[in-house]
Each structure stands twice: as C-alpha cells, then as structure tokens.
Amino acid sequence: MKFDTPAGQNPIDQLKVVGRPTDRIDGKYKTTGTAPYAYERHDVAENQAYGYVVGAGIAKGTVRAVDTAAAKAAPGVLAVVTTLDVPKLGLGTMNYANLFGGDRIQHYHQAVAVVVAETFEQARAAAFLVRVDAAPEAGRFDLAAEADSAPPVKADSGEGSGADGAERVGDFEGAFAQAPVTLDETYTTADESHAMMEPHATIAAWDGDRLTLWTSNQMIAWAKGSIAKILGIPKQNVRVDSPYVGGGFGGKLFVRADAVLAALAAKAAGRPVKVALTRPLIPNNTTHRPATIQRVRIGATPDGTITAIAHESVSGNLPDGGPETAVDQTKLLYAGANRLTALRLAHLDLPEGNAMRAPGEAPGMLALEVAMDEMAEKLGIDPVEFRIRNDTQVDPNQPERPFSHRNLVGCLRLGAERFGWDRRDRRPGQVRDGQWLVGLGMAAGFRNNLVMKSAARVRLDASGTVTVETDMTDIGTGSYTIIAQTAAEMMGVSLDRVVVRLGDSDHPAAAGSGGQWGANNATAGVYAACMRLREAVAQRLGINSADATFADGEVRAGNRAVALAVAAEAGEIVAEDAIEYGDLSKRQQQSTFAGHFVEVGVDVDTAEVRVRRMLAVCAAGRILNPKAARSQVIGGMTMGVGAALMEKLSVDKRRGFFVNHDLAGYEVPVHADIPHQEVIFLDEVDPTSSPMKAKGVGELGLCGVGAAVANAVYNATGVRIRDYPLTLDKLL
Ligand code: MOS
C-alpha cells in the first residue's frame, strides 16, 4: 500500500481498541519470568553447548599467536576457535569494527577467541587458560586532544554546504557579529553505554549449511543479511528468531560478536552453541554513544528574536565509523534567518561508536537547550517564552518544506501551566527547603519521526482467530500489544481473538525497532495487510469490499452478517502487504515535540543532586496505547536523568579502554533516583504520518530531559555546568 497523502477517515479512527491503555500482552510473561530470552531458549535445539568469549587486552595492535593447548585440555572443552583460525570477516549493516577474524586488533575487548564446553563454568574456566600473544601499538584515545585537528564531515544536504563541510543558511558570521545579545559556549557530553538489562546473547545451530540464530536483536532483516555477509553464506540459508528482547537502546540494532561467534563455535563443535557476552565485556566489545564537544552560538535582538544560530559538534570514532550527529535538531527546532551547523570527526582507537537511543538529538539537545536557557537569561526573557517566540512551522533550511504537524508551543504552554512554572524564581539560588536548594528547569523536546517500509501477513482461520506475522521486534516497547490492537480494530474482533507472532525472519520484513520508528510504521504495515485481508474475506463471501463493515467478530454488508469464523470455514484466508511512503519525507518534515519540566534539590553541603519531580508534555500524533507510550516516555526521561547526572564511560587515555565496564562502575538511575514523573499527551493526530496517524515517542521522552535537569540545577544553585554528566564534584 502506497501512502503519500494525508489519510482520510479509516477503520482505525473508530478507536474501539486502538488508543486504549491496554496492558502489555507480553507483560505477564516478562514479569513472571516465563518469556524466554535468547540465552534461555533451552527447547529450540537439543544438546546445547556453552561458548565463552575472550576479549583482547590491548586497544590496538596485532595478534601474533594464540596458545590454546591448555584450554583445549581443560575439562569439558569441546572446541576453541581463535581469531587466527579464520580470515578477517566481512562487516554487517551499520557495523564498522571488525567483529572477529584475522590478526588486527582495532579496539580493547575485541573478540579474539571463543571457548566451547559442556557447561558454562567449564567454558569460563578454560577461557582463562587461553594465552594471547599480542603486539600493542600506540593509539589515539583522547577526544579533547584530537578535537582541533578533526576533519569536517561533509553535510549531506548539498545546498548551502561549503568546502568546510558546514551547512549554511544566510550569513551566520555577519548576523552574529551584529547581534545585540550573543552567547558563545561549549558543552561536552560523555561516552555512554546502552546498559540494557539483557546482555547480547545468541544460540546458533547448523543443519547442514543452514544456520538458525535464536538471538536478541532489534532489526531482524538487517541481522539476517548481516550474518550472511559476515560468514559468506547465502542469505536464504539464514534464519534469525528474536521474539523477546530485554532492552536494546540501539545496542542491538546490528549483529555483534555473540551471534558471529555462536555460529562459528557451533560449526567447530558440531552442535548447537549458546553465547552471551558477559557484562564486563559489553561496553568495550560492543558499541557506545560517542562523547561530544559542542559549540553553540546564538545571536538575538533584545526582544528575543533569534537572528543567528550555529551549532558545531566534534566526536570520535574508529576509521569508517560515523559522527554523533548532535547538530541535527538545531537545523529544525527554532527559526532564525542566519544559520550554521557543522560536524567534525576525529579518528579514535576506542571501541566502535554507534547509535544509542536518539542518536544525535539526545546529546545535541543537552547542549542546545542549555544554551537556550543561558540565552533567555541574558535576554531577561522567561525561557518558555523565549522558545515560543522562536517557533517555526516550516523547515528553517527549506522554507517551502512545512512540518507535517507541529505543536511545540502547545507542549510548552500546557507544561508551564501544569508544572506551576509561574512559581519559579528566575533569580538562581533563592529557594531553600531545609537542607536543599530547590530549582526548576525546562527544555523543549524534539525528535524526528521517520517513515519507512514495513510489511506484515495476517491470517483468519476457522476459529475466527486473526494471526499477525511480521519480523517486527518488541524490545520492551509494546509492539505485541499495539500490533494486536491494530489488527483487532481493523478486523472488528476483540483483542483476545488476535495472535501476534514477532521477531522471526521467516515472516515479512517490518521496519524493526529503532529510531522511534517502530510503532507507527509496524502498525501501518499491519493496517495495510488487514486492508487486504478485509478484501479477501469480502471476496470469499461474494460481497463488494467497499460495502463491508467489520465489527463484533462479523463481516456485514447490507442486511447480511457473517461471523468471521464462518467466513473462513472453507479454509484459512491469508493476506500480506507493506506500507510504503515514496518521497513523503522529502516533501514534509515530520518530527515529534515535547516540553520537559524538572524540579531538583541540591544539598547545600554535599552538592548531591536529587530530582524531585518531572513532567513531559508530548505532541506525537495519535497515541496508539497511552499506557505503553507513557512507559516509553518515562523510560526516556529516566535515561535523560542518567545523561545529565550519572552516565559516563571513563576513558583510560593511556591504554585506550572504558574503565568502568560493568554496572557497578557505570551508574544509571534506579527507582530511588526518580521520585515522581508525569506524562501528558496532547490530543492530536498527524494524518500525514501513516494511516495510523501516529508517530514515535520512545526517543522523544529522552531528548531535552538532560537539559531540563541541568537548567534546574542552575536555577537551584546559580552554578552553570557545561560538562556532562553534572556530577557533584563539579558543583562544589
Ligand atoms: Mo535506536 S538508537 O535507533 O535503537
């Protein structure tokens, strides 16, 4: 189904099932421990052996030899595969670092061997007997030291992009020089780890030359193609299955060493092998959100009209790796005639930098929205009002290109009212509550809404059950539930008549879970397939599908009503389709918006920061399931608190690795850190996003929150910290 114009009325608009705060279908399985995660799928293949991964102890260099004699002689050991046993393997989708094979080490904890044994304990014990002889080389590990010489990344939009790689509109330098009020500040954000609860894990089994991977992955079609490419086997010989994913946050967008090594180990051992990356291996062996150094310049007239805005960011990565696109939102969020955005990328020999929840916007909004707070103070204008004055309804880089729907102003106004913003003292450091200095802060929230092809198959059987099959994943987001709600609405059945099967590469390829594009696109694909199924049911009954309505488990036309079970009596009715958008996103800018409001307390003696309450008001099109969407947003808000106050991978700049590579050293917020969160969704639809009229929220909840926290800390204390996370040592 091609979708490229605003949707009219359609069956989803009935909102009998869609739009309700239905409990997560998978919730009871997950909370009772009965949802099998990849490593726990004991029943999918018999005789599973255990693999244990050995990571390199150097950051860069060459493996000269690997002595496996002692490991192979250890009790229970079935096989040892070392990186010298296989040639350098290919790269998968969005993957820049060598996962295995060959003698080159690109980063610390790159996999150099996998030991396979009868039990996990035997594999682990033997892994410590593997002796790796590696010759280290000097590497570059310090972003700050490399920043000045980092080359520009050429802007992808050809128009207005100069030889320096910057994207320009008007004359930024001239307008900034003439602006009566200016701000020029630099902000730094830390390397961050996804820290999802379920580690990367895979069970691999070969049947002749056919490989099945039971794994934990966000993007099944990518995973299937990547594994085929990495191992050099035909794609049709690979099956990937990932029905439950215990969190991903972008760390499972692609296949990692667990999948590749499980496949190689299973081949070597001649039986199925399961491999989980241990927690201490994950931060250095897999990917992370790269640190950034960001410079923001804003020029404005005294009435608060932005006349010049520039945002430049430098980050680092391995050769061939990409930049953290931290300036993206600054192209779109505020009006201003003269603009400049630019990215630079340093070569670092740290582990692979890659997507983590809201890549680009998450650290970019932290810098931009603190800069906006600083600028509002310089102007003597309320920060809510300053943002409202600079709202835009068109893409400021291409004024002929409108936002499909944009109500940032509504989010900010309602948020200010509900949060009690008028009670904020705009002079910092004025409010005391016993031991605590209390401050209020706010920021805008912004994240793009991406449309992309997504397919599904639906079946109606003689029991009246509707079964949906797609390779879409549920990474804890509620995909099972909103897909079931969509199919129930479309086919006029109750939720308990719908079965949803996800995560299997034998199913039609969906958009997958990433970039907050999953909910809108995957359900729109199910909508498209259900439209076909409605036609097929009508055809089976010899009625015109335009005359047919589907309700209460029946299909009705004129004065005829047939139960769906009866319609399928002569055999199952199957339909498949995909949603496709053509060049829709070129013609319109689709984004999601929020107002984030935070109250903090800062201990007057210790400078400990405690978040006291948080509010997010979100404008994200139709909310398919307010309960699941709220959970996504409060999860994002929690991650925003982490970015502002805690999360940082500390770099050992001599040896080149992340030192705090476990959950004892890498701090993330826990329940006790988050006392009160409220989420309000503006009642809106975006008819241009898809037939669902919905958008993503999973990343919107994060973007801007860190800045709101930092702005609240400033309001509480009068101390402006521009280096995140904002730990208490920086406040003292
Ligand atoms: Mo997201 S970082 O695209 O899973």
438 located within any domain? yes
Least confident of 90-94, 102-106, 200-204, 570-574: 90-94
Q: What average pLDDT does range 523-536 have in this prediction?
A: 98
Question: Can 699 be counted among the known catalytic residues?
Answer: yes
Query: Model confidence over 695-711: pLDDT tens digits?
Result: 999 999 999 999 999 99
pLDDT at 156: 64
356 lines ligand 1 (CB under 6 A): yes
Cα distance between residue 368 and residue 229, in whole Å: 40
**Bond before 290 cis per omega within 30 degrees:** no
- Of the residues 193, 473, 699, 700, which should be mutated to test ligand 1's pocket, given the most ligand atoms within 8 Å of the CB? 699
Mean of the per-residue pLDDT values of the chain: 97
- Phi then psi for 721, rounded to 5 degrees? -100, 130
424 with 504, same domain? no
Query: Model confidence over 282-333: pLDDT tens digits?
Result: 999 999 999 999 999 999 999 999 999 999 999 999 999 999 999 999 999 9
Tell me which DSSP letter residue 50 carries.
Answer: E
312 located within any domain? yes
Find the 289 Cα to ligand 1 centroid distance in Å.
11
86 with 61, same domain? yes
Find the 248 Cα to ligand 1 centroid distance in Å.
8
310 with 427, same domain? yes
pLDDT at 467: 99
Which ligand 1 atom is nearest residue 250's CA? 4
Query: Model confidence over 596-631: pLDDT tens digits?
Result: 999 999 999 999 999 999 999 999 999 999 999 999
pLDDT surpassing 90 at residue 157 = no
Q: Which of 555, 580, 605 is the last residue of a domain?
A: 580
611 with 494, same domain? no
Cα distance between residue 314 and residue 322, in whole Å: 11
pLDDT surpassing 80 at residue 155 = no
128 with 171, same domain? no
pLDDT at 475: 97
How many residues are given for the chain? 732
**Helix (H) or strand (E) segment spanning residue 591:** strand 591-603
1 located within any domain? no
pLDDT at 396: 95
Q: Which of 580, 609, 627 is the last residue of a domain?
A: 580
Which ligand 1 atom is nearest residue 515's CA? 3
Find the 120 Cα to ligand 1 centroid distance in Å.
31
pLDDT at 164: 82
Find the 478 Cα to ligand 1 centroid distance in Å.
16
Which ligand 1 atom is nearest residue 358's CA? 2
- Cβ neighbours, 10 Å, residue 35: 17
**Helix (H) or strand (E) segment spanning residue 204:** strand 201-207
Find the 355 Cα to ligand 1 centroid distance in Å.
6
683 with 595, same domain? yes
Cα distance between residue 277 and residue 287, in whole Å: 13
Cα 139 from chain centroid (whole Å): 30
515 lines ligand 1 (CB under 6 A): yes
Maximum pairwise Cα distance, the chain = 82
Q: Which of 580, 598, 623 is the last residue of a domain?
A: 580
Least confident of 157-166, 194-203, 702-711: 157-166
Question: In which order are the strands placed within the sheet that holds 466-469?
Answer: 498-501, 466-469, 454-460, 573-579
698 lines ligand 1 (CB under 6 A): no
Can you give the pTM of this predicted structure? 0.97
206 located within any domain? yes
Find the 497 Cα to ligand 1 centroid distance in Å.
32
20 located within any domain? yes
Q: Which of 324, 300, 299 is nearest to 312 (CA)?
A: 324
139 lines ligand 1 (CB under 6 A): no
357 lines ligand 1 (CB under 6 A): yes
Find the 252 Cα to ligand 1 centroid distance in Å.
8
pLDDT at 160: 57
218 lines ligand 1 (CB under 6 A): yes
501 with 575, same domain? yes
Give the pair of three-digit tokens for residue 274. Answer: 């399961």
528 with 506, same domain? yes
In sign, the C-alpha dihedral spanning 582, 407, 522, 196 is positive
Which ligand 1 atom is nearest residue 355's CA? 2
475 lines ligand 1 (CB under 6 A): no
Q: What is the complex's ipTM, to 2 decimals?
A: 0.96
Q: What average pLDDT does range 108-118 have in this prediction?
A: 98
Q: What average pLDDT does range 270-277 have in this prediction?
A: 98
Cα distance between residue 271 and residue 264, in whole Å: 11
Which ligand 1 atom is nearest residue 699's CA? 1
271 with 295, same domain? no
Least confident of 5-9, 175-179, 289-293, 416-420: 5-9
Give the pair of three-digit tokens for residue 8. Answer: 């009219």
Q: In the chain, how many domains are there?
A: 3
Q: Are 640 and 702 in contact (CB under 8 A)?
A: yes
- For atom 4 of ligand 1, which residue has the closest CA? 250
Q: Are 330 and 313 in contact (CB under 8 A)?
A: no
- Of the residues 94, 193, 219, 253, which should be mutated to test ligand 1's pocket, given the most ligand atoms within 8 Å of the CB? 253
Residue 110 half-sphere exposure toward CB, CA atoms < 13 A: 30
Active-site choice (198, 369, 647, 699)? 699
**Helix (H) or strand (E) segment spanning residue 212:** strand 210-215
- Tell me which residue range forms the domain holding 675: 152-191+289-450+587-731
Q: Which of 382, 376, 430 is nearest to 181 (CA)?
A: 376
461 with 551, same domain? yes
pLDDT at 171: 97
**Helix (H) or strand (E) segment spanning residue 442:** strand 436-448
Which ligand 1 atom is nearest residue 248's CA? 4
- DSSP code per residue over 679-703: EEE-----TTT-TT-B---TTTTTT
pLDDT surpassing 70 at residue 71 = yes
514 lines ligand 1 (CB under 6 A): yes
Q: Which residues of 666-701 are buried (b: 16+ CB within 10 A; e: fewer)?
A: bbbbeeebbeebbbbbbebbbbbbbbbbbbbbbbbb
Q: Are 67 and 83 in contact (CB under 8 A)?
A: no
145 located within any domain? no
pLDDT surpassing 80 at residue 694 = yes
Q: What share of the chain is helix, strand, coil (3-state, %, to 5)?
A: 30, 30, 45
The domain that contains 528 carries what CATH number? 3.30.365.10
61 lines ligand 1 (CB under 6 A): no
238 located within any domain? yes
pLDDT at 162: 67
322 with 281, same domain? no
515 with 627, same domain? no
- DSSP code per residue over 323-365: P--TTGGGGTSS--SEEEEEEEEEE--SSPB---SSTTHHHHH
548 located within any domain? yes
Which ligand 1 atom is nearest residue 253's CA? 4
355 lines ligand 1 (CB under 6 A): yes
pLDDT surpassing 90 at residue 485 = yes
Find the 171 Cα to ligand 1 centroid distance in Å.
34
